[in-house]
Amino acid sequence: TLLNTVSAFLPSVSQTEGGNKGSQTKEHFAFNHAHFSGVHDHQHENMITVSEDGFVQSPRFPQNYPRDVVLVWRLIAANENMQIQMTFDERFGLEEPENGLCKFDFVEIEDLSDGTIIGRWCGTKAVPGMQISKANQVRIRFRSDEYLASKPGFCLYYSLLEPDHFESSTVLPPSSLSLDTLNDAVSGFDTLEELIKYLDPERWQLDLEDLYKPTWQMLGKAFMYGRKSKVDLNLLKEEVKLYSCTPRNLSVSLREELKRTDTLYWPGCLLVKRCGGNCACCSLSCLDCQCVPVKVSKKYYEVLQLRYRSPGRRLHKSLADVALEHHEECNCVCKGKTGG
């Protein structure tokens, strides 16, 4: 299906003198412009009826987006009984957060069924996870302030989702889920901020701040060891990914890979990306998860090829292109199934 490309209106780029004004100036800008033009005013939002796959993106993606921009899209499923599934392009990068909060440049999704913010994202450390609306409408906001613009920005792909395929864990409040179901829901979040928002969307910012306030139980430890910074749980999560089901470098023998018994190659081995790591955190309901490729490509290498003709004759030497399979994306699936 052809993607329904959305053309976004590009506001004028504000040119400020002096470049980066510093974090103090930026904080002043963020907190004293709480009603940043257009962020809460949806009069100029782009209305999109979702009947097929499509996407919205920051202007100039994947290059530097303009400064001082506010764009709002409203996605409405053509069938009111369907949800909207949204997936971010892996090329994601907005201005970094301040103290873990996206104050300056960000993209956020609001669920219009109850007015809650599904998530707000910025930075470059992690690609936001897949999001699913509760009903048939969502509002997407993109904002950049008048200071630092980054690249590549964001691209958000959307598609329709049948209600039967909708995960019950995203419909019911966390407090009503069983422990096993809640564990599956919690493990699916990529960042601490997303998890806290899911658990209590009304007061997630207060909850996030309360996590790092010293209580009487930990005052003694903090005093003794001089705790100077909060633990980076997002970093711990990212480190797990390095050893989980991901593409990684692997050396392969060209003769074995190409199944050529009459030919020699130099170099005889090359590096490729192949799926590796375990699926210990697999959330699927099966006893045995395995790591499989879900996106595969071919890459060509020029190597020296030595072909054997017959005993006593010289080897035929030539440069040859060889195609090797690379795994670009991997996923954990139940054993016996293959990736798509």
- Looking at the chain, the domain(s) classified CATH 2.10.90.10 span 243-334
CATH code linked to domain 46-161: 2.60.120.290
Among 105, 104, 109, 132, CA closest to 120: 109
Q: What residues does 263 pair with on adjacent strands?
A: 307
226 pLDDT more than 60 = no
Tell me the pLDDT band of 7, cut-offs 50, 70 and 90. very low
Instruction: From residue 31, give the alpha-carbon distance in Å to each of 27, 41, 98, 103, 299.
Output: 6, 18, 12, 8, 49
Could you give the percent of the chain with pLDDT greater than 70?
72
Give the pairing type, strands 69-77 and 106-111.
unpaired
Does residue 295 contact residue 329 with C-beta atoms inside 8 Å?
yes
- Looking at the chain, the domain(s) classified CATH 2.60.120.290 span 46-161
**Which CATH entry fits the domain spanning 243-334: 3.30.70.1400, 3.40.190.10, 2.10.90.10, 3.60.10.10?**
2.10.90.10
210 pLDDT more than 80 = no
| The two three-digit tokens of residue 205, written as one number | 């910012």
**Of residues 266 and 187, more confidently modeled:** 266
Helix orientation angle between 233-242 and 192-199, rounded to the nearest 10 degrees: 120
Please tell me the predicted confidence (pLDDT) of residue 122.
92
* Mean pLDDT across 304-309: 79
Q: What is the mean pLDDT of the chain?
A: 76
